[in-house]
Amino acid sequence: MTQALTSDAATVAARISATDITVRFGGLVAVDNVSIHVQPAQIVGLVGPNGAGKRTLFAVLSGLRTPNGGSVSIDGEDVTHASPQARAGRGLARTFQHPELFQGLTIREHVVLSDRTRNAPWRVWSDVLTGAGFRRARSGENERVDEIINLLHLTAIQHRQVAGLPLGMARLVEVGRAIARSPSVILLDEPSAGLDARETDELAGALLQIVHDRAISLLLVEHDVDLVLGMSERVCVIDFGRLIAEGTPNEIRSSPVVKAAYLGTEEGAGVQRPGKGGQNHDRING
């Protein structure tokens, strides 16, 4: 693996940093002293087998769980004990494994509503309660929303209500909603799940474009390892709550430790993995 920045230097330079994060559930250590740093306009992939601790770490980064040890910072500012809303105000957005959408709104209205939380927050509640407010766009709003809708190839169905949308399309709506907030960093939870190969390629192109055009940083959890390796500048691999590898996609592809974690190959026979060697180790989803 290549030489990483020192922890202090990486934290100061990073859009978002998790430093020495530990999370316990009773006697079970779900995340064990993990550090991850995402630099400006960088895509970092977070992968690992089911139950490795990926979503627990995401919950810590987004403010849904306070760690038992370690710290989280956004642009060098400690947010370890800040609420999800406070972190959003500092430029953090995220999507979820199970999309959280307003079933009575259209695809376009979701993006409009998210744009207004950024540019006209005083209108948000009246728009949701009356519905009529969505038809009164402010200067520049339609252009911003059109750009996102087109970027995600949702133009043809933008006026469809999200109720009943296929899972993959619902995920794209969440991605569009996150982009519309003009964040500095987005946490993406399984963005390609439910998409076919063409849709996945289109999503990857859209994400690469927003990083290039808007200098947004991305940290994504994905089971589609090929997608992660094809998009990411750096990849972090966790297993049984521990960071077992970090490096470029090529380094991760060739790592015997990673092959052992995913495939149980003999190449990793000399690697000590928590929970092995006769010990029982219950695994937590994500």
Tell me the domain boundaries of the chain: 7-101+182-268, 105-161
SS3 239: strand
Stretch 238-249: mean pLDDT: 94
How far CA 281 is from CA of 51, 54, 240, 255, 259, in Å, comes to 11, 16, 9, 24, 20
Q: What percent of the chain has pLDDT over 70?
A: 80
Q: Which two tokens stand for residue 107?
A: 């695809």
Q: How confident is the model over 126-132, as a mean pLDDT?
A: 60
- Of the candidate ranges 33-42, 100-109, 114-123, the one whose mean pLDDT is the lowest: 114-123
Q: DSSP letter at 137?
A: P
When the pLDDT of each residue in the chain is averaged and rounded to a whole number, the result is 84
Core vs surface per residue 218-256: b (16+ CB within 10 A) or e: bbbbbebbebbbebbebbbbbbbbbbbbbbebeebeebe
Inform me whether the pLDDT recorded for 167 exceeds 50.
Answer: yes
DSSP state, residue 161: B
Please name the fold of domain 7-101+182-268: Rossmann fold (3.40.50)
Residue 66 is which amino acid? Answer: T
Handedness of CA 223, 189, 187, 81 (dihedral sign): negative
Please give the structure tokens belonging to residue 231.
Answer: 């998009």
Q: What integer pLDDT is reported at residue 160 of this predicted model?
A: 95
Please, what's the b/e burial string for 157-175 (b: 16 or more CB within 10 A of its CB; e: otherwise)?
bbeeebeebeebbbbbbbb
